[in-house]
Amino acid sequence: MELDRVARIQAEWARERPDLDVTPQGVIGRLHRLAAVLTEQLAVVYRRHGLGEGEFDVLAALRRAGAPYERAPGELAQHTMVTTGAITKRIDRLERDGLVTRRPGQDDARRRVVALTEAGKQVIDQAFTEHMANERRLLDALDADDAGRLEQILTTWLARFEPPR
């Protein structure tokens, strides 16, 4: 039987450091490798729409907000996988590309609001449609029962680090 890359690494470490339990590498190593593969596969769709992962995430957070498709920059950081520090850079690029606008808040002129433009709404709607088809394609590598079990396991595990709100 052929060993995958993670199993080969585990075997080498088990040989070199038999005093250590290397079984965690079986899960963590494979998750790490799979995350890299999935990220690249997802990025193909983002690039096709002229977006990076962070820009896609910001546009998606604005679209999910519902009409009028706007949020304050701090809210965007809470509703995306993008850090607060990276939000401004993403918004600058999206604004330059005509996909979002910035304006003062209605109740407080010091508060800024970021909103999708019509062009931004069209881009994210098209990109998200293709993104969901791509995710389906990737997940279809598993049968439905395995995918369901994996989702339950990952939900439980993630909640230990990032409690649900």
DSSP of 32-97, one letter per residue? HHHHHHHHHHHHHHHHHTT--HHHHHHHHHHHHT-TTTEE-HHHHHHTSSS-HHHHHHHHHHHHHT
Question: With pLDDT > 90 as the criterion, what percentage of the chain qualifies?
Answer: 79
pLDDT in tens, 127-151: 999 999 999 999 999 999 999 999 9
- What pTM was computed for the model? 0.86
Domains annotated for the chain, with CATH where assigned, are 5-160 (1.10.10.10)
pLDDT in tens, 64-105: 999 999 998 888 888 887 777 788 889 999 999 999 999 877
